[in-house]
Chains A and B, each alone.
Chain A
């Protein structure tokens, strides 16, 4: 059987029935809309059947548009391919039309592409109408929201977000809250951990930073390491 890396919660039947080891990752992803920015965060762990940490620096937050990013949980190959395809769609539209896809249109494209992809995705971005967060699922569902969490650590993350995410106005506050949620989930969800990536999306672009466990234990906002930006 082909080995697959996933950010999914390992389903028991799946793990037992497989002929060989199936590489999966549990995940915690979070997205929060602020006034004129969106923050997306995810932990950095990829695990094998939820039992073995296969990778400690996986990036699950990627830019998919000049002013939008995706936080991914699900089958790794499928979500990486999805992110590349969505990015290509956005680039192609901009090249052909001379203007960027709006967030509503990007979410519609993403909804059309995500059908059948084994993933739970959070899409966040900024356009002329403001900051937007969308939850995407494998059925092709696209749900507009102010904040959301996904992956195996989502219950713990939501516990942190509830009551604190609604009145967020400032990007810095949103970044702090998103990392708090990922840190809490990393403490209690065995399939999440090893630090975090946090993307800040503004009208100026997407900035992705990497945070180690040590960074997160100290002053979360202070240190960055090996971040990618666009």
Chain B
């Protein structure tokens, strides 16, 4: 029997292992993430930078009608890569979870707790019958205060997590997911400095994002930027993005 036939026998149901212990549907879901445009996250000492590649859209498409960066609850943010629709569902789950934490404990959820909850939700889709894995990966960033204390007391710290389609959470100093992520991570590995401030983190993230693009640089319209610091979730406007592209020396004349 040929290899493709073997594979067909084991990739019909998501909950069926192949004889060598692989879940093909989960691997295909990871492939779906790689087919999407890249998103990059970098943790600075005073905040987390999330940067998304928003190229490849028709000039007729209204700006910001398809979002890659998402405000989860005002202090946490998420960047999605892969299937946009699947990413939106995960983000909505994250938003509901963030609010239920407030109802249950009277406090906001922190990044590890939310990332773990998202990962549990994503993992369910790899084991339950009648469903398929999420075809989206997620970067979750935020600035955590300790439980019951305000971030303003200086005890808060920035955190960055990734959740992949298998439902595994992992914490990063800096990472990228989506198309060209390997190149972006190489750029992050050479440029990352644990002491860097969030503005430097944004610049590094944009430089890493530029490595995923075959064009000669990025335009303002190509890039979305969000920052999570003690003030919460904030996005860059076109002028801010233009400045960062210039500082990172990756701007392309549009």
- Distance from B38 Cβ to chain A, minimum over Cβ atoms (Å): 31
Question: In chain A, what residue has the closest Cβ to B155?
Answer: A128
Which of B103-111, B121-129, B186-194, B223-231 binds A? B103-111
Q: Are A101 and B147 closer than 8 Å at their CB atoms?
A: yes
* A104 touching B149, Cβ below 8 Å: no
Which residues does chain B contribute within 8 Å of A104, judged by CB atoms?
Answer: 106-107, 148
C-alpha gap A97/B113 in the complex (Å) = 7
Could you say which of B103, B105, B110, B116 contacts A101, with CB atoms under 8 Å apart?
B105
Measured in the bound complex, the distance between the Cα atoms of B148 and A104 in whole Å is 7
Residues on B with beta carbons closer than 8 Å to the beta carbon of A109: 104-105
Instruction: Report, as a range, how many residues of chain A touch the other chain.
Output: 10 to 19
CA distance A22 to B113 in the complex (A): 45
In the assembled complex, B67 has its CB within 8 A of some CB on chain A? no
Interface string of B92-124 (1 = CB under 8 A from A): 000000000001111100101100100000000
Task: Specify which of B103, B107, B116 is in contact with A102 (CB 8 Å cutoff).
Answer: B107
Give Cα A107 to B112, complex, Å.
23
Cα A104 to Cα B149 in complex, Å, equals 10
Contacts of B131 on A, CB cut-off 8 Å?
none
B113 adjacent to A105 (CB under 8 Å):
no
B148 to A102, Cβ gap below 8 A? yes
- Nearest Cβ distance between residue A31 and chain B, in whole angstroms? 19
Interface string of A110-130 (1 = CB under 8 A from B): 001000000000000001110
A108 touches B148 (CB 8 A): no
Contacts of B103 in A (CB 8 A): 112
Among B103, B113, B147, B149, chain A packs the most CB atoms within 10 A around the CB of B147
Which residues of chain A from 112 to 167 have any CB-CB distance to chain B below 8 Å in the complex?
112, 127-129
Say yes or no: A105-B149 contact (C-beta < 8 A), given A96-B113, A97-B113: no
- By size class, the interface of chain B is 10 to 19
| B113 pairs with A99, CB closer than 8 A | no
CB atoms of A128 and B104 under 8 A apart: no
Question: Provided the pairs A96-B113, A97-B113 are in contact, do residues A128 and B105 lie with their beta carbons within 8 angstroms?
Answer: no
Residue of A nearest to B102 (CB): A108
Given A96-B113, A97-B113, the answer on whether A129 and B149 have CB atoms closer than 8 Å is: yes
B146 within 8 A of A: yes
* In the complex, A103 has a CB within 8 A of chain B: yes
Q: Kindly identify which residue among B105, B112, B116 contacts A105, using a CB–CB cutoff of 8 Å.
A: B105
With a cutoff of 8 Å between Cβ atoms, the chain A residues found around residue B146 in the complex are 99, 128
For B148, give the chain A residue with the smallest CB separation. Answer: A102
Task: Return chain B residues, CB-CB under 8 Å to A103.
Answer: 148
Q: Which residue of B lies closest to A97 (CB)?
A: B113
B55 shortest CB reach to chain A, Å: 39
Contacts of B147 in A (CB 8 A): 97, 99, 101-102, 105
Decide: A128 near B113, CB < 8 A? Known: A104-B106, A109-B104, A112-B103.
no
With both beta carbons as reference points, the residue of chain A lying nearest to B110 in the complex is identified as A97
A105 contact set on B, CB distance < 8 A? 105-107, 147-148
Nearest residue (CB) in B for A93 is: B105
Chain B residue nearest to A129 in the complex (CB)? B148
In the docked arrangement, what's the CA distance between A127 and B147, Å? 10
Q: Which of B58-109 contact A (CB under 8 A)?
A: 103-107
Which of chain A's residues have a CB closer than 8 A to the CB of B149?
Answer: 128-129
- For residue B156, give the distance in angstroms from its CB to the closest CB of chain A: 14
Residue of A nearest to B105 (CB): A105
Complex Cα gap A102–B155 (Å): 15
Q: Which chain B residue lies CB-closest to A104?
A: B148
- Interface residues in B118-162 (C-beta closer than 8 Å to A): 146-149
Most buried by A among B103, B104, B105, B112: B105
Q: Which residues of B contact A129 (CB under 8 A)?
A: 148-149
In the complex, how many angstroms separate the beta carbon of A95 from the nearest chain B beta carbon? 12
Name the interface residues of A45-85: CB closer than 8 Å to any CB of B.
none
Of all chain B residues, which has the CB nearest A100? B147
Residues from chain B with a CB closer than 8 A to the CB of A101 are 105, 147
Provide a sorted-by-A list of 6 A–B residue pairs whose CB atoms are within 8 angstroms: A96-B116, A99-B146, A105-B147, A108-B106, A109-B104, A129-B148
6 interchain residue pairs of minimum CB distance: A102-B148, A108-B106, A105-B105, A102-B147, A104-B148, A105-B107
Q: A102-B107, A107-B106, A109-B104 are in contact. List 13 more A-B contacts (CB 8 A).
A: A97-B112, A97-B113, A101-B105, A101-B147, A102-B148, A104-B106, A105-B147, A108-B107, A109-B105, A112-B104, A128-B146, A129-B148, A129-B149
